[in-house]
């Protein structure tokens, strides 16, 4: 399998602090890769290392199968569009003037610029000054600037940050269309809900470490939902489980965490043996958000 982005033990230290720790990213071509993690988990630093804006302390970056090094850097970066931190563009210029600057800088034909502007649906807003744009419009112009070079890979750092729900939906829709057009997109967010349904692959970062990488179905499957035991005397049942499993009372049931099917069977047998009446045993429904929260608050899978 050749990946658009692959990193080997990518690491960044600032002084004695390791802020990105041994990442092995694998981003397949054509996907929307949701790069998730709480604030400060190292997402921006990682993206900047992919773009050679920050020098790794150790490890390697491979883009489209080629190692990033001084000899390959220029050619590889020409295939990557990016939007890192605040949206680019000069406020005192119009959208069109900003696009023209990018065009001249990169020596691009008119049709590349026109298509990028159409893709982000900004063709009717180009004659306004950028300082009069809403945040969502600024983000979309920034994405058009990144798209104008017709990149194979687009790296977007928190493009939905600060947007209202309509703006977030516009970016989601844009990401879907881009990936439909064959562009691989890596997009970061600290909120799973903002990119959950758009992303075909997820990478979850916590404290600089990649704690999960795979599809959303794989993420759900890798977590073990809690078991809920319904009984007329939950206090007594819970007391019987002390020292055996991690359990607690939850709205008239006993909630047991982190147990697979064989342990569930033993728990039920143990309770029945202790004279507990069991009305029902069920697995709790878990949303992806629950799994994400459990993971990034140190729960682990
Ligand atoms: N130049 C730097 N010098 C020292 N520490 C830094 C530097 N840049 C980032 N850090 C630290 O590295 C950690 C990771 O930061 P980074 O910006 O990559 O995280 P993030 O996941 O993108 O978070 P956010 O969404 O808040 O930007 C943070 O603790 C940050 O303070």
Kindly list the strands in the beta sheet with 227-230, ordered across the sheet, starting from the edge strand earlier in the chain: 246-250, 253-257, 227-230, 280-283
**CA 24–ligand 1 middle distance (angstroms):** 19
Residue whose pair of structure tokens reads 């773009």 in the numeric block:
51
CA distance 178 to 192: 20
Instruction: Indicate if the pLDDT at residue 99 is higher than 80.
Output: yes
Euclidean distance between CA atoms 177 and 3, whole angstroms: 21
The verdict on the CB of residue 203 being under 6 Å from ligand 1 is no
d(CA 192, CA 9): 25
pTM, full prediction: 0.82
Q: For 44-48, 158-162, 261-265, 295-299, which range has the lowest pLDDT when averaged over its residues?
A: 295-299
Kindly report the protein residue whose alpha carbon is nearest to atom 28 of ligand 1: 40
Helix (H, G, I), strand (E, B) or coil at 82: strand
Residues 94-116: what's their mean pLDDT? 94
Residue 133 has pLDDT above 80, yes or no: yes
Averaged pLDDT of the chain? 91
Residue of 17, 44, 211 to test ligand 1 pocket, by largest number of atoms within 8 Å of CB:
44
Atom in ligand 1 nearest the alpha carbon of residue 17: 5
ipTM at complex level:
0.94
Find the radius of gyration of the CA atoms of the chain.
24
Give tens-digit pLDDT for 166-180. 888 888 888 988 888
Ligand 1 atom showing the smallest separation from residue 47 Cα: 18
Ligand 1 atom with least separation from CA of 48: 18
- In the chain, which residue ranges form alpha helices assigned H by DSSP? 43-50, 73-77, 95-106, 110-119, 135-147, 165-180, 192-195, 216-222, 234-240, 261-273, 288-296
pLDDT, tens only, 36-75: 998 899 999 999 999 999 999 999 999 999 999 999 999 9
Complete domains list, the chain, with CATH: 5-216 (3.40.50.300), 224-285 (3.30.70)
Q: How many CA atoms lie within 13 A of 123 on its CB side?
A: 8
């Amino acid at each position: 399998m050749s990946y658009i982005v692959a990193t080997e033990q990518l690491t960044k230290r600032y002084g004695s602090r390791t802020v990105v720790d041994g990442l092995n990213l694998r981003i397949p071509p054509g996907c929307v890769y949701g790069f998730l993690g709480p604030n400060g988990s190292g997402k921006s630093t990682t993206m900047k290392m992919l773009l050679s804006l920050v020098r790794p302390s150790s490890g390697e970056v491979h883009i489209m199968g080629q190692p990033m090094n001084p000899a390959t850097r220029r050619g590889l970066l020409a295939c990557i569009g990016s939007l890192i931190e605040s949206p680019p563009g000069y406020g005192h210029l119009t959208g069109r003037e900003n696009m023209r600057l990018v065009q001249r800088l990169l020596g691009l034909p008119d049709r590349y610029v026109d298509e990028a502007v159409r893709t982000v649906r900004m063709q009717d807003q180009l004659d306004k000054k950028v300082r009069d744009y809403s945040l969502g419009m600024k983000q979309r112009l920034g994405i058009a600037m990144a798209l104008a070079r017709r990149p194979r890979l687009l790296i977007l750092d928190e493009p939905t940050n600060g947007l209202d729900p309509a703006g977030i939906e516009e970016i989601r829709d844009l990401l879907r269309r881009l990936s439909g057009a064959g562009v691989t997109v890596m997009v970061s967010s600290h909120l799973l809900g903002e990119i959950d349904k758009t992303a075909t692959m997820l990478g979850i970062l916590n404290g600089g470490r990649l704690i999960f990488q795979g599809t959303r179905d794989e993420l759900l499957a890798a977590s073990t939902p809690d078991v809920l035991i319904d009984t007329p005397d939950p206090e007594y049942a819970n007391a019987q489980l002390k020292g055996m499993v991690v359990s607690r009372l939850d709205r008239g049931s006993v909630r047991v965490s982190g147990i697979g099917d064989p342990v569930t069977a033993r728990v039920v047998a143990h309770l029945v043996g202790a004279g507990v009446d069991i009305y029902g045993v069920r697995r709790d429904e878990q949303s992806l958000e629950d799994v994400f929260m459990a993971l990034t608050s140190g729960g682990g899978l």
